[in-house]
Amino acid sequence: MRPTLREYVAGARTGAPVLAGQNWGYVFGAIGAVLFSMKAIFVKLAYQPVDGVSANEIDAISLMAMRLGFSMPIYILIFFMAIKKLQSAGKETPRFRHMLMAGSLGVLGYYICAFLDIQGLKYVTAQLERLLLFTYPVFVLGLSALFLGIRPRPLSLLGALIGYSGIAIIFAGGDITAGENLALGTAMILACALLFAAFQLLAKPMITKLGSTVFTCCAMFTAGIVIFTHLITQNAVEGTLGVPDWPARIWVIGLALAFFSTLIPSFLVNIAIDRIGPQSTAMLGLVSPVATVVFAIFWLGEPFGIWDALGTLITLLGIGFYSWYSRKPVPQSQPAARAK
């Protein structure tokens, strides 16, 4: 039951918490989704040929290195603060093998997925990228059926079908599918969505073991090590070692990627996963495509025609229905999972 206005006022006066921890999970998840949606906007801004720098001079791994380079020191600081807090409270510190597993998941979620996504944004619009990523709960459905033995329910499949019908409408007559190498970019974004779905499923038990703060720090730190190894190796092969001579605009975008689209939302979304679960967190992603559409139109000048609006609406309704319905408990007559 939602608190009344009287309860809100009373809570504000007494300092008592009005929202339960689970409800705060929805708040954090929604804000995190909006901030993560800004990533595509920042990347597209970096790719724009301004100040004598063409899109070909800015590659995905360089943007990823700036993104993690600026944010990693803070992740390290927060990690040691979290460990010290556990020690001061006399609680057991996380086991190394659990932190190593979190780091491995970080390579999947924040290196491989991020590379596919940022590279794919060279070929597709920010709006199309966000819509394609928005369908990742459908991949959660498929992976759960394949590896966890969870049978998808008919209405879940219907929601997934409706969602992809909207994508099909956009590809058939929309304006946001304009661009070179559209097929390549679409394939990369869909691959990112598939792997991110796997990341979500695997991350939940590790977040429960380590807590969202320690998990996020371990994941980001390990991903950062792999990203910098990739960058240094690539530059050594190309003979371009050294700090790139980019305009100040690119470095500002890198800072924005690090803090507003990485550091802050990564904690918010992982807290949401811990408090309300991956399915509910995925449902909150409804706000992400809407935010991207608004930012892309008014900031990037991307087109948005009637077929784009229709397809986006159908996709939001389909995936939103899927996410909402998937949160409902499975009837007792139907087992939630079966052993394979």
Question: What token pair was written down for 333?
Answer: 């007559």
Query: Which portions of the chain are predicted below pLDDT 50?
Result: 1-19, 332-340
* Rounded CA separation 61/29 (Å): 27
Q: Using an 8 Å Cβ cutoff, are 301 and 293 in contact?
A: no
Q: What is the pLDDT of residue 22?
A: 66
Look at the alpha carbons of 42, 45, 51, 54 in this order and tell me if their dihedral is positive or negative. positive
pLDDT of amino acid 164: 92
CB–CB of 152/161 below 8 Å? Answer: no
Structure tokens at 13: 């006066």
Q: Look at residue 21 in the predicted model and tell me its pLDDT.
A: 58
Q: Nearest 5 degrees, angle CA 101-CA 107-CA 109?
A: 100
44, 126 contact by CB (below 8 A): yes
Q: Structure tokens of 136? A: 């990742």
pTM of the model: 0.83
**248-258 vs 21-47: helix crossing angle, rounded to 10:** 160
Q: Residue 50 gets which letter from DSSP?
A: B
Instruction: Give the torsion sign (CA, 54, 57, 60, 62).
Output: negative
- Give me the pLDDT at residue 170, please: 95
pLDDT at 221: 93
Q: Helical H runs in the chain?
A: 5-14, 21-47, 60-88, 96-107, 113-120, 126-134, 136-147, 154-173, 182-210, 212-238, 248-258, 264-284, 287-295, 306-326
3-state secondary structure at position 192 = helix
pLDDT value for 83: 93
Residue 120: other Cβ atoms inside 10 A:
26
Q: Which two tokens stand for residue 288?
A: 């992400």
Token output for 270: 């992982």
For residue 159, what are its two tokens? 């929601």
> Whole-angstrom Cα distance, residue 68 to residue 112?
14
Nearest to 244 by CA among 68, 53, 110: 53
Closest CA to 175 of 315, 304, 316, 41: 304
How many other CB atoms are found less than 10 A from the CB of residue 324? 14
The predicted structure's pLDDT at residue 157:
87
For 239, phi then psi, to 5°, come to: 70, 35
Q: In angstroms, rounded to a whole number, what is the distance separating the alpha carbons of residues 167 and 308?
A: 9
Burial of 291-314, coded b for 16+ CB within 10 Å and e otherwise, reads bbbebbeeebebebeebbeebbeb
How many alpha carbons fall within 13 Å on the CB side of residue 260? 15
Is the Cβ–Cβ distance between 311 and 174 less than 8 Å?
yes
Distance, in Å, from the CA atom of 43 to the CA atom of 110, rounded to the nearest integer, reads 15
Angstrom distance (rounded) from CA 277 to CA 146: 20
Measured CA to CA in angstroms, residue 265 lies from 28, 32, 99, 302 at distances of 8, 4, 21, 25
Q: What does the alpha-carbon distance between residue 255 and residue 268 come to, in Å, rounded to a whole number?
A: 18
